[in-house]
Structure 1
Amino acid sequence: MRPTPDALMLFAAGRGTRMGALTQSRPKPLVAVAGRPLLEHALDLVRGAEIGRVVANVHYFGDQVRSHLAGSGVQISDESDALLETGGGLRKALPLLGAGPVFTLNSDAVWTGPNVLATLRAGWDGARMSACLALVPKAAATGHIGAGDFDMDEKGRLRRGTGYVYTGAQILDPAGIETISEPAFSLNLMWNRAIAEGRAYGVVHRGGWCDVGRPECIPLAEEMLGHGG
């Protein structure tokens, strides 16, 4: 078991329905921002953090994601039969990821500033944490709509709230995930357990973050990256 994570689950299977026409013939991870697919923006973080093992799940237009990742060293967890959501997807990929805590990263955001995966690695303490989530203050969550997700105390311990938005990057110890009966489920179930046990923590990303879940978020992301206009 790895006390310090060196494997990452890259979520790339979703349908991207909020992207409308942009995802009628391609998966959301291959939608371009600043001339490059969202998937490559995510992989920049992975490469920069020098993570040893990377697994991506595929479902919607999975053949396109497979083709894009060919030769990259990223292993594929095939969900073509059924979309398993984040929790079910992670559970299915565990044989490829190996034992112990893992990074997970959504592929529908762009970032500036420090590498968020390096920030998570520096903040991880498996003796007291089951989850360490990368957050941004709600006021700094570009492209995000709706309420925040968490509040955080002075020690970094999380509870459900509205002050911070989850960015889609974390370290999670998946111990106990096999006890969840549903085949498809959200990782919120694992977070709820960790919160109840006082083992859910957060770190704040000290840079820019943009949720690219809707077409109107693309120019916001490009402006943040310095490609506006």
Structure 2
Amino acid sequence: MTSSDLPVMLFAAGFGTRMGDLTRTRPKPLIEVAGRPLVDHTLDLARAVSPPRIVANLHYLAPLLAAHLAPQGVLLSHEQPDILDTGGGLRQALPLLAAETVFTANSDAIWSGPNPFALLAEAWEPARMDALLMCVPVGQAIGHAGHGDFSRDAQGRIERGPGLIYGGVQIVKTGGLGDFDMPAFSLNLLWNRIGAAGRLFALEYPGRWCDVGHPGGIALAEEMLRDV
């Protein structure tokens, strides 16, 4: 499978509460890092693998994001009146994505190194995987506290545990989303089911990654980019 077969779902609906006053009048994806909106850094990586479509979900301060994304050709999935979380948001966007297997990407991280989308596409094996997550070893993660989200075995399968942080980009099959009867839910529920079936995998990112979900992450990310 080539990366150009897979559309991209960009998660951009959140409230950005960890950013404090910075997100009082603008959505987190429009906060600038190195002179550019945070979301544009992710869009650059996504466009580099030539996806057929890029879709973004919107909720908080949606008109501001729509004005930024629509002229760039990004399709918009508006979540109203309630925000749907990652699982519900992805499920609502499926008609726009028009695919059963998709990339998903958070919009609050900066990557320094190889393109995570391209690495995932190269490693994707749909016969044995239902999801392939790009994860960052704790020692290569900047601006992120904690011991990690997942542990990885020699075959690349992952389970909950220390060692690797989910970096926010994955390839995932969406068929299981219809099994959840609540409108809003996290993709963690889908991952739990996929993991129980032995089909949840991860790659370890070879570069560095910075969490920009909090104010201090802006300066950290800019410093990381200057060090390239």
TM range (shorter): over 0.9
CA distance in 1: counterparts of 2:113 and 2:200, whole angstroms: 24
1:91 counterpart SS class:
helix
Normalised by the length of structure 2, the TM-score is 0.96
Is contact 1:29-1:37 (8 Å) kept?
yes
CA distance in 2: counterparts of 1:171 and 1:81, whole angstroms: 28
Deviation string, structure 1 residues 53-111 (Cα, Å, up to 9, x no partner): 11000000100000001221110000131100000000000011113210000000011
**What residue is the counterpart of 1:208 in the other structure?**
208
**What residue is the counterpart of 1:59 in the other structure?**
59
Matched, 1:86 2:96: no
**What residue is the counterpart of 2:221 in the other structure?**
221
**What residue is the counterpart of 2:140 in the other structure?**
140
Question: 2:46 is matched by which residue type in structure 1?
Answer: V
**What residue is the counterpart of 1:118 in the other structure?**
118
CA distance in 2: counterparts of 1:17 and 1:193, whole angstroms: 29
CA distance in 2: counterparts of 1:72 and 1:78, whole angstroms: 17
CA distance in 2: counterparts of 1:24 and 1:36, whole angstroms: 19
Is contact 2:131-2:199 (8 Å) kept?
yes
Question: 1:21 is matched by which residue type in structure 2?
Answer: D
Is contact 2:8-2:103 (8 Å) kept?
yes
List gaps (5 residues or longer) in structure 1. Answer: none
List gaps (5 residues or longer) in structure 2. Answer: none
**Equivalent runs, 1:29-48 vs 2, <5 Å:** 29-48=29-48
CA distance in 1: counterparts of 2:15 and 2:227, whole angstroms: 27
Is contact 2:12-2:56 (8 Å) kept?
yes
CA distance in 1: counterparts of 2:23 and 2:74, whole angstroms: 23
User: How many angstroms does 1:147 deviate by?
Assistant: 3.0
Would you identify which runs of 4 or more consecutive aligned residues in structure 1 move more than 3 Å?
2-5
User: How many angstroms does 1:140 deviate by?
Assistant: 1.3
Identity of aligned residues (%): 53
How well do the aligned residues superpose, as a CA RMSD in angstroms? 1.5
1:70 counterpart SS class:
helix
Normalized per residue, which structure has more helix?
A: 2
State how many pairs are aligned: 227
Normalised by the length of structure 1, the TM-score is 0.96
CA distance in 2: counterparts of 1:92 and 1:42, whole angstroms: 21
CA distance in 1: counterparts of 2:18 and 2:67, whole angstroms: 24
**What residue is the counterpart of 2:69 in the other structure?**
69
